[in-house]
């Protein structure tokens, strides 16, 4: 029986074998922004997971743009060299096409790793100055960021461009800019974090202006035949914040500056946000953005079962589905989905003897 989830998808010259995406997931395990052996293991495994596309975690465009001391970066030659080792490993041993997400954490930078508490770095933890559209902290007790100057705006735009150039040299198939989860590009877009009174604050059009400027600059250096995407927020889940209608308007403008796909997430702009969470809770947002913009759209958020992912694509809610924790729970989730939906998926030759066609035990405990 045909399956939508395992049908191919073309984005510019990039041909994906299926619609399954490994979502970018921060590992907080880099050293001065450089990938380590953990990334070699983590991404190497996921490159052979059955997913059509593997997206490297949110990767900072500058040292100040890291969330934590452990964040991956792409702002130095050392960062580029270390990540190149990981990319080469994934190419040699995996089948997934490779993407990378670049961004800047803004006022949510200079924070502890999640297993260290996840709060702002203390004075004895080597904190750094944070920047944001306005001098508004993320939450009580967090660092008050410095409002960005014109020089800061230019510098961060150029940092995104530089990271994109490095990603191109590394041979990534797709690039996406992080404009969600309360990080810098989202902070400009959201009235919760953006209280500026210049051309980058106030109206919806003004609040879009800086993210669009940055993304347009990235598009100019990222080859036209390779897809460029943006992770956006569909809703802030805070009174007075971004609405789904705002997200749709943003997506329309993103398409106008050359963006090829969007990933629709939500929340993260404030510690007071209270999302309504249930299986597939962001799918309706993805569907609305897809219909409004005509962009290829990726859905994410509590998508965990093959049947749920298949329905998201076959119903037209999204063109792709991205899974994060489901892949942490089962790094071969794509194999599970193929078995459940009666599809075929690539496996490393070393693991082919575990395929259902040749191993009767494949169905034991995996239904």
pLDDT in the model for residue 137: 97
pLDDT at 307 over 80: yes
* Residue 1 pLDDT class (50, 70, 90 cuts): low
pLDDT in the model for residue 363: 74
Can 351 be counted among the known catalytic residues?
Answer: no
The tens digit of pLDDT for each residue in 229-269 reads 999 999 999 999 999 999 999 999 999 999 999 999 999 99
Q: How far apart are CA 50 and CA 354, in angstroms?
A: 14
pLDDT at 364 over 80: no
Please give the mean pLDDT across all residues of the chain: 96
* Residue 319 pLDDT class (50, 70, 90 cuts): very high
Q: How far apart are CA 234 and CA 300, in angstroms?
A: 11
Q: How far apart are CA 280 and CA 110, in angstroms?
A: 31
- Strands (E) in 258-309, as ranges, are 261-265, 296-300
CA dihedral 179, 183, 185, 191 (to 10 degrees): 110
Q: What are the CA-CA distances from residue 73 to residues 221, 311, 327 (Å)?
A: 19, 35, 23
Q: Domain 9-363: what homologous superfamily?
A: Aldolase class I (3.20.20.70)
In eight-state DSSP terms, residue 33 is T
Q: Name which of 242, 240, 319, 252 is nearest 286 in CA terms.
A: 319
- CA-based diameter of the chain, in Å? 66
Residue 325: phi and psi, rounded to 5, are -65, -25
Which run of H or E residues covers position 86?
Answer: helix 77-93
pLDDT at 196 over 70: yes
The tens digit of pLDDT for each residue in 97-127 reads 999 999 999 999 999 999 999 999 999 999 9
Give the mean pLDDT of 281-308: 96
Q: Which residues contact 150 (CB under 8 A, 6 or more apart)?
A: none
Give the mean pLDDT of 159-182: 98
CA angle 21, 24, 26 (to 5 degrees): 150
**Percent residues over pLDDT 70 in the chain:** 99
* Residue 366 pLDDT class (50, 70, 90 cuts): low
The tens digit of pLDDT for each residue in 62-87 reads 999 999 999 999 999 999 999 999 99
Active-site residue identified among 28, 75, 183, 210: 183
pLDDT at 365 over 70: no
Q: Would you mind telling me the total number of residues written for the chain in this entry?
A: 367
- 145 within 8 A of 130, measured Cβ to Cβ: yes
* 88, two tokens: 């080469």
Q: How far apart are CA 90 and CA 84, in angstroms?
A: 10
- 212 within 8 A of 157, measured Cβ to Cβ: no
């Amino acid at each position: 029986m045909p399956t939508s989830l395992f049908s191919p998808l073309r984005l510019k010259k990039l041909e994906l074998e299926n619609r399954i995406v490994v979502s970018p997931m921060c590992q907080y395990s880099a050293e001065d922004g450089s990938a380590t052996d953990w990334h070699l293991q983590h991404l190497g495994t996921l490159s052979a997971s059955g997913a059509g596309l593997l997206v490297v975690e949110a990767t900072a465009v500058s040292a100040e743009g890291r969330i934590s001391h452990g964040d991956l970066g792409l702002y130095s030659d050392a960062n580029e060299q270390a990540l190149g080792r990981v990319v080469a490993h994934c190419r040699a041993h995996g089948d997934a096409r490779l993407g990378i997400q670049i961004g800047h954490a803004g006022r949510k930078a200079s924070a502890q790793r999640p297993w260290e508490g996840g709060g702002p770095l203390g004075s004895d933890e080597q904190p750094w100055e944070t920047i944001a559209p306005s001098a508004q902290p993320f939450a009580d007790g967090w660092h008050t960021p410095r409002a960005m100057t014109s020089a800061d705006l230019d510098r961060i735009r150029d940092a995104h461009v530089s990271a994109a150039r490095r990603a191109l040299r590394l041979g990534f198939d797709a690039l996406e800019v992080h404009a969600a989860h309360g990080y810098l590009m989202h902070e400009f877009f959201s009235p919760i974090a953006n209280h500026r009174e210049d051309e980058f604050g106030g109206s919806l059009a003004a609040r879009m202006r800086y993210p669009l400027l940055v993304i347009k600059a990235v598009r100019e250096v990222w080859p036209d035949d390779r897809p460029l995407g943006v992770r956006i927020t569909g809703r802030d889940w805070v009174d007075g914040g971004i609405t789904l209608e705002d997200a749709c308007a943003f997506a329309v403008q993103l398409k106008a500056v050359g963006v090829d796909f969007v990933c629709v997430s939500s929340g993260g702009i404030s510690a007071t946000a209270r999302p309504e969470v249930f299986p597939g809770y962001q799918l309706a947002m993805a569907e609305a953005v897809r219909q409004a913009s005509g962009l290829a759209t990726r859905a994410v958020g509590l998508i965990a079962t093959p049947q749920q992912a298949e329905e998201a694509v076959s119903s037209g809610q999204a063109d792709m589905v991205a899974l994060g924790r489901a892949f942490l729970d089962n790094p071969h989730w794509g194999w599970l989905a193929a078995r459940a939906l009666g599809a075929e998926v690539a496996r490393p030759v070393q693991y082919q003897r575990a395929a259902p066609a040749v191993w009767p035990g494949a169905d034991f405990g995996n239904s």
